[in-house]
A and B are shown apart, each in its own frame.
Chain A
Amino acid sequence: MNTKIRRLKKKNFSNTFIIIFAVVLNIVVSLLMGHWSYSWLPIQASEAAHYVDNLFAFETSIGTFIFLGCTGTMAWILVFNRAPKYDESNGEPLEGNLKLEIIWTIVPLILVLAISTYSTRVNYKLENLGSKIKYDFGAEVPFVEEKKVFDYGPIDVISRQWNWEFVYPNGIHSSELHLPINKRSNFRLITEDVIHSFYVPAFRLKQDIIPGSVITYSLTPTKEGVFRLRDAMFSGAYFSQNQTNVIVEPEDVFNKWIKETVKKEPQNGLNPAGRLYEKRLKNGNRGWATVKPAPDPKVNEVGSEARPHDS
């Protein structure tokens, strides 16, 4: 009898050891995954990127811990609790455990409270979205008083099926978006047809552009380079062509660009969808129906489709 208790104690001890070892291993792996998760994301090129990536890493760590905890337990069960062939007997008939059930209701509740509090703080910190004001579609876009301070702007971001046009405060029109580094730039997001989305992965920012509304938006680029701006809300036939570049420059280079571009004569800007549509017409207009692409925008700065991008 005594030896049996001793053996049970010994077994309990080794079980406790295995559990502690597994939990510690899981914590280590989860922290490593969180650390690794930064490499899955594009370059951090705006003020927001740093916050988003930290939050994502935090969630990756928690997620990894839960995932490995659950699936590790499942793997353990699959190794040690398999029924031998022809054994149809029942397992240990546990019906439940109130304490355990309360724990696994409360712990996730605390976790989601923590995550949502953390993200709410980040939301208030960034405050990219300004106001959204409705206007008569087709009429002139109204002026919007921006409550939050910004350093540069407002730049009008005009989205169409399927090209982008940027209008600077001094009247320059451009097919690419040039921005000064470390300045909070302000935008008026405008669409002339359907819903588009202003999405720059390197900035970690996305904002839909709604027909009949003008939306103000501010962001601070923090890294020099060329980054892709992609329409992220499906906008029809040539949706995947509705992309351009964002060029973040030091302030003096940016100012020089403004000064030189204003002297340039307006000419046809980037419109890859227009070129594809012409090709389609030449090949007999095969395929399913689409609206015609908007005509080439008239811009002072044409930019370049072939420009290599950093992310």
Chain B
Amino acid sequence: MTIVNYDPRLVKTKNPYPKGPNDWKRFFSFNTDAKVIGIQYIVTALFFLLIGGLLGMLIRGELITPPSDLFDPTVYNGLYTMHGTIMLFLFLFPILSGLTNLLVPPMIGAPDMAFPKLNALAFWLVPVFSIILLLSFFVPGGPASSGWWSYPPISIQNPLGKVLNGEMLWIIAISLSGISSIIGAVNFVTTIIRMRAPGMGFFKMPIFIWTVLAAQLLQLLGLPALTGGAIMLFFDLTFGTSFFRVEGGGDPVLFQHFFWFYSHPAVYVMVLPVFGIFSELFPVYSRKPLFGYKFVAVASFGITILSLVVWVHHMFYTGTPMWMRNLFMFTTMLIAVPTGVKVFAWIATLWGGNIRLSTPMLFCLGGLFNFIFGGITGVMLATVPVDIHVGNTYFVVAHFHYIIFNTIAFGIFAAIYHWFPKFTGKMFYEGLGKVHFALTFIGATLNWLPLHWAGLLGMPRRVASYDPEFAIWNVLASVGAFILGVASIPFILNMVSSWVRGKPAPPNPWKAIGLEWLLPSPPPHENFEEDIPTVLNEPYCYGLNKPFVEDEQFYIEKSLIKH
């Protein structure tokens, strides 16, 4: 199967930024180079990881003792709402968009994204809505404080009665974030479908590209529901309409449907690229082909399709009728099947390999370990009778942090380390990387493992104070959170000092197979320029003696030439 749908005229476009590639100012401009945009996204997102993490530590500071003694409960509610919002919309989504921007064009042999200007627009919306969101700390009454779900009626109560309020700014920021993501999704999907190198049929694409395609299609299908819901909420809050306002005949449960129809798949939008990262890295660091490439590739779409029909599992106790609860329990559990296919394939990839425990591999292994755990508690939560007990307790908080931090953020760190030499042209310090991993793994485990028991015993989530019997689990969790705070120090140190004065990176430091590794480090502006390679096989043929591209030696030699 050879699909040649790549248009060579694209490489003839002018360099959008005429100054040399080493000018730091390009990172602060409306640059249309996907590699610049990728780094813009990642650095912005990591800054917000620090802010979100700081808020997380404040939350854990309040919860280290049973009574509400550090903040007024209203302040606590605002802090945890902003923690969740910042982590999701200002850290996770942007950083994944950043990695996708960096990796998609080089991995498929394209010079840039399909719509470079839209791409820059999608990025520059991030600082705009971030500033709007952060400004909400300073409006009268404080920021939004109804949780990141923003369920009405609590979210439209507007105690001060002012038009300008934290909740309103929150809704505007979230809507802009949705628009930014939709623009990004159109771009990624088009690029992947239209701009692959000659010979790269769908079943020769790297798994990361498969998962990005699956995730971004989900964005396109799901986001309109959330953005629509957010606009209705805005109208209810600001203009007194009654989409969800009971006094006017509206129904608050309707919002929950709009919200979860997108926000459950949103988890898969975030986790799918991380599955892609695992699938890329395990073969490299165990020197083996990816086990069952086609199964792993197709499983991504199994997850995409199923994730669109599971949202009601967030509403098992809102008065949902029995038949609906049973149905959604079953669809939710079905997701374990394609996910299991991936997990087993990764373990089979490791089996009998030549394992190298470098920093990216450690983060992948840690992420997989945590994901197996989080997946199992996920199936427990899908079970209606168990969910009716542990739903909305700390068991859920612990479960989703196991997915969202202990899996997704671990995968993101793995990716940052793995591709750092490629896109900065510098090697990072392995020792600092390992310290970062050790502190992160210990901190994350201590933070979220004990909270499962707090939830099982009946500690509701989002409380500012709690009964003393939950204290022990909370003290452990708080200690873990502070260790996680410390873990950011070696990471920042490593990234900054390596970029400034690290050893120059060779084109392929990990001896990996993949189009991006046939490029110089860092890659030139238009990646392969005029010589787009013709792909012969999928990029996982370690030890199979199958050529990856036509005339591989030419590209290896070209990548070694200083440019």
Q: Bound pair: A and B?
A: yes
A residues lining the B interface (CB < 8 Å): 40-42, 48, 51-52, 55-56, 59-60, 63, 66-67, 70-71, 73-74, 77-78, 81-83, 87-97, 100-101, 104-105, 108-109, 111-112, 115-116, 119-120, 122-124, 126-127, 129, 132, 134, 137-138, 193-195, 197, 199, 201-202, 204-208, 210-213, 215, 228, 230-241, 276, 280, 286-291, 309, 311
Interface residues in B319-376 (C-beta closer than 8 Å to A): 319, 322, 325-326, 329-330, 333-334, 336-337, 340-341, 343-345, 347-348, 350-357, 365, 368-369, 372-373, 376
In the complex with contacts A55-B383, A123-B325, A199-B392 CB distance below 8 A: yes
Q: Check if A129 sits within 8 Å of B385, measured CB to CB.
A: no
Instruction: Tell yes or no: B72 within 8 A of A by CB.
Output: yes
A113 to B235, CA, bound (A): 43
Q: Check if A116 sits within 8 Å of B246, measured CB to CB.
A: no
In the complex with contacts A40-B456, A42-B457, A206-B391, A89-B379 CB distance below 8 A: no
In the complex with contacts A96-B295, A288-B142, A215-B319 CB distance below 8 A: yes
B322 interface neighbour in A52, A82, A129, Cβ under 8 Å? A129
A112 interface neighbour in B77, B334, B511, Cβ under 8 Å? B334
B residues in contact with A122, CB < 8 Å: 384-385
In the complex with contacts A90-B542, A95-B544, A194-B154 CB distance below 8 A: yes
Sample (6) of A-B pairs whose CB atoms are under 8 Å apart: A83-B355, A94-B288, A96-B292, A112-B333, A116-B330, A239-B462
Known A129-B319, A234-B147, A238-B73; further 14 A-B contacts with Cβ < 8 A? A40-B457, A81-B286, A81-B351, A92-B352, A93-B289, A97-B292, A119-B384, A123-B384, A213-B319, A231-B460, A236-B77, A236-B157, A287-B71, A287-B73
A288 interface neighbour in B78, B379, B464, Cβ under 8 Å? B78
A residues in contact with B463, CB < 8 Å: 239-240
In the complex with contacts A48-B385, A137-B247, A239-B463, A90-B141 CB distance below 8 A: no
B293 interface neighbour in A74, A96, A230, Cβ under 8 Å? A96
Q: Check if A52 sits within 8 Å of B386, measured CB to CB.
A: yes
Q: Check if B154 sits within 8 Å of A236, measured CB to CB.
A: yes
Q: Check if B319 sits within 8 Å of A88, measured CB to CB.
A: no
Interface residues in B172-214 (C-beta closer than 8 Å to A): none
A-B pairs with lowest CB-CB distance, top 9: A201-B458, A288-B142, A287-B72, A90-B543, A289-B141, A240-B463, A93-B543, A91-B353, A212-B246
Shortest distance between the CB of B12 and any CB in chain A (Å): 39
Q: Check if A70 sits within 8 Å of B372, measured CB to CB.
A: yes
B354 interface neighbour in A87, A108, A193, A210, Cβ under 8 Å? A87
B residues in contact with A138, CB < 8 Å: 247
A237 to B465, CA, bound (A): 11
A residues in contact with B322, CB < 8 Å: 123-124, 127, 129
Shortest distance between the CB of A40 and any CB in chain B (Å): 5
Q: How many A-B residue pairs have CB under 8 A?
A: 303
A residues in contact with B352, CB < 8 Å: 77, 81, 91-92, 94
A66 to B460, CA, bound (A): 28
Q: Check if B73 sits within 8 Å of A197, measured CB to CB.
A: no
Q: Mark B263-303, 1 if CB is under 8 A from A, else 0.
A: 00000000000000000000000111101111100000000
Instruction: Tell yes or no: B26 within 8 A of A by CB.
Output: no
Closest to A59 in B: B380
B residues in contact with A206, CB < 8 Å: 317, 388-389, 391-392
Instruction: Tell yes or no: B146 within 8 A of A by CB.
Output: yes
Closest to B285 in A: A83
Closest to A90 in B: B543
A88 interface neighbour in B159, B465, B511, Cβ under 8 Å? B511
B159 interface neighbour in A77, A101, A234, A289, Cβ under 8 Å? A289
A210 to B153, CA, bound (A): 10
A213 to B246, CA, bound (A): 9
B72 interface neighbour in A119, A201, A241, A288, Cβ under 8 Å? A288
A residues in contact with B424, CB < 8 Å: none
B residues in contact with A119, CB < 8 Å: 326, 329, 383-386
Shortest distance between the CB of B27 and any CB in chain A (Å): 35
A residues in contact with B5, CB < 8 Å: none
Q: Check if A83 sits within 8 Å of B329, measured CB to CB.
A: no
A residues in contact with B461, CB < 8 Å: 234
B residues in contact with A67, CB < 8 Å: 372-373, 376
Q: Check if A95 sits within 8 Å of B289, measured CB to CB.
A: yes
A78 to B350, CA, bound (A): 9
Q: Check if A211 sits within 8 Å of B291, measured CB to CB.
A: no
Instruction: Tell yes or no: B13 within 8 A of A by CB.
Output: no
B385 interface neighbour in A41, A42, A100, A123, Cβ under 8 Å? A123
Q: Check if B465 sits within 8 Å of A240, measured CB to CB.
A: yes
A residues in contact with B373, CB < 8 Å: 67
Shortest distance between the CB of B311 and any CB in chain A (Å): 16
Instruction: Tell yes or no: B490 within 8 A of A by CB.
Output: no
Q: Check if A207 sits within 8 Å of B319, measured CB to CB.
A: yes
SS of A interface (majority): mixed
A93 to B322, CA, bound (A): 49
A303 to B77, CA, bound (A): 29
Instruction: Tell yes or no: B6 within 8 A of A by CB.
Output: no
A97 to B353, CA, bound (A): 16
Instruction: Tell yes or no: B74 within 8 A of A by CB.
Output: yes
Q: Check if A105 sits within 8 Å of B286, measured CB to CB.
A: no
A66 interface neighbour in B348, B376, B541, Cβ under 8 Å? B376
A220 to B354, CA, bound (A): 59
B318 interface neighbour in A127, A205, A208, A291, Cβ under 8 Å? A208
A120 to B327, CA, bound (A): 9
In the complex with contacts A67-B372, A290-B159, A126-B385 CB distance below 8 A: yes
A213 to B75, CA, bound (A): 31
B residues in contact with A202, CB < 8 Å: 458
Instruction: Tell yes or no: B68 within 8 A of A by CB.
Output: yes
In the complex with contacts A59-B383, A95-B293, A73-B457 CB distance below 8 A: no
B464 interface neighbour in A52, A66, A201, A240, Cβ under 8 Å? A240
A194 interface neighbour in B153, B286, B368, Cβ under 8 Å? B153
B residues in contact with A288, CB < 8 Å: 72, 74-75, 77-78, 141-143, 145, 166
Q: Check if A210 sits within 8 Å of B318, measured CB to CB.
A: yes
In the complex with contacts A115-B379, A240-B464, A287-B75, A74-B368 CB distance below 8 A: yes
Q: Check if A237 sits within 8 Å of B77, measured CB to CB.
A: yes
Shortest distance between the CB of A226 and any CB in chain B (Å): 12
A115 to B380, CA, bound (A): 9
B351 interface neighbour in A60, A73, A201, A291, Cβ under 8 Å? A73
A115 to B344, CA, bound (A): 20
Q: Check if A81 sits within 8 Å of B350, measured CB to CB.
A: yes
B residues in contact with A204, CB < 8 Å: 385, 388-389
Interface residues in B446-481 (C-beta closer than 8 Å to A): 453, 456-458, 460-467
Q: Check if A193 sits within 8 Å of B542, measured CB to CB.
A: no
Q: Check if B458 sits within 8 Å of A56, measured CB to CB.
A: no
Q: Check if A66 sits within 8 Å of B142, measured CB to CB.
A: no
Q: Check if A91 sits within 8 Å of B288, measured CB to CB.
A: yes
Q: Check if B329 sits within 8 Å of A120, measured CB to CB.
A: yes
B residues in contact with A137, CB < 8 Å: 246-247
Q: Check if A94 sits within 8 Å of B348, measured CB to CB.
A: yes
Closest to A286 in B: B72
A residues in contact with B330, CB < 8 Å: 112, 116
A127 to B385, CA, bound (A): 11
Q: Check if A239 sits within 8 Å of B253, measured CB to CB.
A: no
A48 to B341, CA, bound (A): 34
Closest to A211 in B: B246
Q: Check if B159 sits within 8 Å of A201, measured CB to CB.
A: no
Closest to B319 in A: A132
Q: Check if B384 sits within 8 Å of A101, measured CB to CB.
A: no
A230 to B160, CA, bound (A): 28
